[in-house]
Amino acid sequence: MIVAAVTQTSIGILLVGIAFLVAIVWAAVNLRQGRAEVGSEIELAPNRKPYLPDEELEGRKLDRTLTFGLLGLFVLGIGLPLYWLQEPARQSNEVGNIKRKFVDRGAEMFAPTADGGYNCAFCHGTNGVGGVTTYTITDSEGRFVKEVQWQGPALNTVLMRYTRDEVRYVLEYGRPFSPMPAWGTKGGGPLTEQKLQNLIDYIQSIQITPKRAQAEVAKQLTKMMEEKEDACVEAKTEAAQAGLTGDALTNFDASSVDVSSCPPKWKSQGEALFNMGYDDGFAGGAYSCGRCHTAGWSYGEKEADGSGAMGPNLRDIEENFPGLVGYEQQVDFVCTGSAEGVRYGRSSMGTGRMPGFCITPETKLNDSNGEVGIEPKEAGLAEDGAMLTQDQVRAIVEYERSLR
């Protein structure tokens, strides 16, 4: 019966059951013996009652006691090793159980306020696919300027371009001049380091694969490149409608209008990638460079591409990465991102804020923030890509180098 118990839990239950059964038998025997005793207290008092003679004590009783002891040793000798055999699996399962609990707690925090969460889903969308939120823009003295609809970036790709520590930093301190507040206690928010890990663990659980991200970008890029300039299409449509009356006008099919001569909305793939999501909110602009490098981009009032916002001005960026060597350096920089204090280009130094778009970052163990259950992972390869492929990054760099 014990051998058939293959899990640690069932073995433990079996041992407890055996111990419980022995206790019941022992109690029943003692109660029965107690009822049979009749006589004065002097005769029955434990300290006055004569004990068994040596012949009986060292005979049948000793044999019975030794037999029970042998059975107990047999149970322990077989049961404990079977219990120990399950210990590695138990520990492994408990690690997975802890991870599952952390993810569940993070999901609860990410949920809308109506569901008891901290409303991350309101800005970043259900499952972190991107969303829109109302935001009030103020001037340098805190006075009202206007209210806008701000794109909240998708978070299901965030760990393809930022490390866990970088995501934690943003959660702790927020993003100034944006709807993203500080959530960590270090930045004045409500979340402890443990809760931040729970939230990051949930975000990690909703990450899509690099292949899927690249496929979605390719599909979106094709759609963007097929778009035509609205003014040209509208003019050709009005011209085709001119002179039509009655049923002919009612049954007019705008899709039949020849707009092949209308210029595309985006002049190059690099321009489209730089502004991906600006018109239709694709992934909340998470794949876009303009989101950080163009003022007004996040709320649909963008200024000149690359004119600078949270990220630096990119116009005339070729001066910092001159020539063919500079071009390759810039491609590598956009692929891998910046590191704090590390020089890049001819006269710039990294702050660590610039993410890499075609190399997935490595995952390191970090004891300083108390994270547990984190498995280290090496960085990806540039040829495999991450959010973007190397060819897509090259298209972006070519467009950036054309900005003046």
CA dist 158 and 204 (Å) reads: 9
Rounded Cα distance between 118 and 103, Å, is 15
Distances from the Cα of 403 to the Cα of 182, 302, 317, 334, 386, angstroms = 34, 15, 8, 16, 25
**Distance between CA atoms of residues 315 and 325, nearest Å:** 19
| Burial (CB count <10 Å: 0-12, 13-18, 19+), residue 136 | exposed
pLDDT over 50 (residue 3): no
Q: What is the pLDDT of residue 79?
A: 84
Whole-number Å distance between alpha carbons of 105 and 100: 9
SS3 329: helix
What are the backbone dihedrals phi and psi of residue 262, each rounded to the nearest 5 degrees, phi first?
-70, 135
- Please list, in sequence order, all residues whose beta carbon lies within 8 angstroms of the beta carbon of residue 190, skipping any fewer than 6 positions away: 118, 183
Q: What is the mean pLDDT of residues 201-216?
A: 97
Task: Report yes or no: 370 and 194 within 8 Å, Cβ to Cβ.
Answer: yes
Q: Are 400 and 316 in contact (CB under 8 A)?
A: no
Residue 44's pLDDT is 59
Classified as helix, coil or strand, 276 is coil
Q: Mind listing the pLDDT tens digit for each residue in 241-271?
A: 888 888 887 888 888 899 989 999 999 999 9
- Residue 120 token pair: 């991350």
What is the distance, to the nearest Å, from the Cα of residue 138 to the centroid of all Cα atoms in its chain? 32
Average of per-residue pLDDT values in the chain: 89
State phi, psi for 314 to the nearest 5 degrees: -105, -5
For the chain, first and last CA: distance in Å?
82
The fold of the 96-205 domain, in CATH, is Cytochrome Bc1 Complex; Chain D, domain 2 (1.10.760)
Q: Looking up tokens 């809760």, which residue turns up? A: 195
Q: Are strands 348-349 and 131-138 parallel, antiparallel or unpaired?
A: unpaired
Could you tell me the two tokens for 47?
């300290």
Is a pLDDT exceeding 50 seen at residue 4? no
Q: Which residues contact 3 (CB under 8 A, 6 or more apart)?
A: 78, 82
Single-letter amino acid, residue 75:
V
* pLDDT higher at 4 or 206: 206
* pLDDT over 70, % of the chain: 94
* Greater model confidence, 37 or 92: 92
Query: Minimal CA–CA distance to 160: which of 400, 12, 380, 392?
Result: 380
Count the residues in the chain: 404
Strands 144-152 and 131-138, bridge-based pairing: antiparallel
pLDDT of residue 10: 76
Least confident of 87-91, 147-151, 170-174: 87-91
Chain centre distance of CA 307: 31
| Residue 31: both structure tokens together | 């109660």
- What local confidence, expressed as pLDDT, does residue 80 receive? 85
Distance CA 116, CA 127 (A): 16
* 3-state SS assignment for residue 22: helix
Question: In the chain, what are the domain boundaries?
Answer: 8-85, 96-205, 215-244+257-402
Contact present, 277 and 131 (Cβ < 8 Å): no
Assigned token pair, 367: 């004891």
Helix axes 87-110, 8-36, angle to 10 degrees: 110
Question: By the 8 A CB rule, do 202 and 103 touch?
Answer: yes
Helices (runs of H) and strands (runs of E) counted in the chain: 15, 4
- Rounded Cα–Cα distance for residues 171 and 359 (Å): 22
Stretch 358-371: mean pLDDT, rounded? 87
Using alpha carbons, list the distances in angstroms from residue 112 to 208, 244, 267: 22, 52, 39
Instruction: Quote the distance between the C-alpha of residue 141 and its chain's center.
Output: 36
